[in-house]
Amino acid sequence: MSKLKVAVLISGTGSNMGALARATMDPDYPVEIVLVLSNRPHAAGLELAQEHGIPIRVIDHTGYDSREAHEHAVNDALRESGARLICLAGYMRILTDGFVNQWRGQLVNIHPSLLPSFRGIDTHARALERGVRIHGCTVHFVNAELDGGPIIAQAAVRVEPDDTPESLAARVLKAEHELFPHALRLIGDQSVRWSGDDAVKDLNVSSSDVARME
Ligand code: GAR
C-alpha cells in the first residue's frame, strides 16, 4: 500500500502533530509524515517530531521581508519533501491566497471550534461568552476565506457550567487528538476529497465522519 505523504506545519506545542505521529505507528494507517515544518525556531513540537524520527525544518518568518518571501521558502521545502498533503496543526500564520490556491484540495487545517461558529482566535473564551452548550473542533480543507473551507470532520464537546476557557480548551484539544488522525485517514483512504470549485457541495464523502460527545 502506498501511503499518503503528509507535511505538518506547526508553530508551537505540536500536540496534534504528535497525535498524528502516533497514528502513523499503525502499519495499516494510510498516511506517513515526511516533514514537520515550523515558522518558530523554539517550537516544542520540533523536539517531539525528532523523537518520532520525523525530518524537521525551521523557516523563521522573522528572517524574511514579506509574507510572500517566507511562503516561497516554505513552499520550496514542502515541494522538496514530496508531501502531497499539507496539514496546518496550530500553524499561526495567515496564508496568502496564492499559497492556498497552489495547494487547493491538498491543504487541511484543524480549528478549535465547530465551524462555521467561532472562526479566528480565542474560540473557547468566545464560546463561553456566547453561552453555547456544545463546542468542539473541526478539520477542514483550506480555501481563501479564513476558517471557511469545506468541512471534513467534526467532534463535539459538552460545555460544563463551571468551564473556564482553559478547561474547555483542554477537553477540546483531547478531542482534536482523535479527530485529526481520523480526518487524515479519510483523506488517505480516499474516502473524502475536495475536487470542484464549490466550497461545500463538491466535497466527496463516501465514509461517515465523527460527531462524538466527550
Ligand atoms: C490547537 O488547539 C489547534 O486547533 C489550534 O491551535 C492549537 C495547537 O495546539 N489552531 C488554531 O487555533 C488555528 N487557528 P498544538 O500545537 O498542541 O497542536
pLDDT band at 49 (very low <50, low <70, confident <90, very high): very high
- Given a cut of 50, whether residue 210 has pLDDT beyond it is no
**% of the chain residues with pLDDT over 90:** 87
127-136: pLDDT as tens digits: 999 999 999 9
Structure pTM? Answer: 0.94
112 Cβ inside 6 Å of ligand 1: yes
**% of the chain residues with pLDDT over 70:** 91
State in Å: Cα 1 to ligand 1 middle. Answer: 31
List, in order, residues 6 or more apart from 48 with CB less than 8 Å away: 14, 15, 17, 18, 21
pLDDT at 214: 43
Mean pLDDT, the chain, rounded, equals: 92
Domains with residue ranges and CATH for the chain: 1-103 (3.40.50.170), 109-214 (3.40.50.170)
pLDDT at 193: 86
154-199: pLDDT as tens digits: 999 999 999 999 999 999 999 999 999 999 999 999 888 887 665 5
Cα 206 from Cα 190, distance rounded (Å): 9
Give the residue whose CA is nearest to atom 9 of ligand 1: 90
ω into 150 cis (within 30 of 0): no
pLDDT at 198: 59
Q: The C-alpha cell of 5 is what?
A: 505523504
Cα 120 from Cα 111, distance rounded (Å): 9
Is residue 70 among the annotated active site residues? no
Mutate which of 110, 114, 145, 172 for ligand 1 pocket (most atoms within 8 A of beta carbon): 110
16 Cβ inside 6 Å of ligand 1: yes
Mutate which of 10, 173, 178, 184 for ligand 1 pocket (most atoms within 8 A of beta carbon): 173
